[in-house]
């Protein structure tokens, strides 16, 4: 996997976690596939509308540290991104963070990558 592609995938993940989308929901919509599904740390499944709502209303001051990032090319249009995420602002001293996996699909119509699946597993 090229360093540029890995860097690009990291940037997409960080954009979802760090950007404040309240002023521009269109920027968020461009990142989320219509068929997006998420399984959260409690095992609950959410659809695109619920994920969009959370991202539009999340704490804009929250900051995350991503480590152990790996990108796997599953096909020309599909990337699997694996990483460890830990919230660092505001601090959560009793949290070990979570293991996360995302599937990003290239949308030829828009010429951009869109998140189509995400799962977070809390670490103890």
pLDDT in tens, the chain (124 residues): 588 889 999 999 999 999 999 989 999 999 999 999 999 989 999 999 999 999 999 999 999 999 999 999 999 999 999 999 999 998 888 888 999 999 999 999 999 999 999 999 999 8
What's residue 41's pLDDT?
87
What domains can you pick out in the chain, each with its CATH number?
3-122 (3.10.450.50)
| Block residue for tokens 């002023």 | 23
What's residue 2's pLDDT?
80
DSSP E strands, 51-111: 63-75, 78-89, 98-107
What's residue 1's pLDDT?
59
């Amino acid at each position: 996997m090229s360093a540029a592609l890995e860097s690009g995938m990291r940037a997409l993940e960080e954009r979802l976690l760090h950007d404040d989308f309240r002023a521009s929901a269109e920027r968020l919509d461009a990142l989320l596939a219509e068929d997006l599904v998420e399984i959260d740390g409690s095992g609950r499944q959410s659809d695109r509308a619920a994920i969009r709502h959370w991202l539009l209303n999340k704490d804009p001051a929250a900051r995350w540290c991503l480590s152990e990032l790996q990108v796997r090319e599953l096909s020309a249009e599909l990337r699997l991104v694996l990483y460890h995420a830990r919230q660092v602002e505001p601090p959560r001293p009793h949290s070990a963070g979570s293991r996360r996996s995302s599937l990003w699909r290239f949308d030829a119509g828009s010429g951009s990558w869109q998140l189509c699946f995400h799962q977070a597993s809390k670490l103890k």
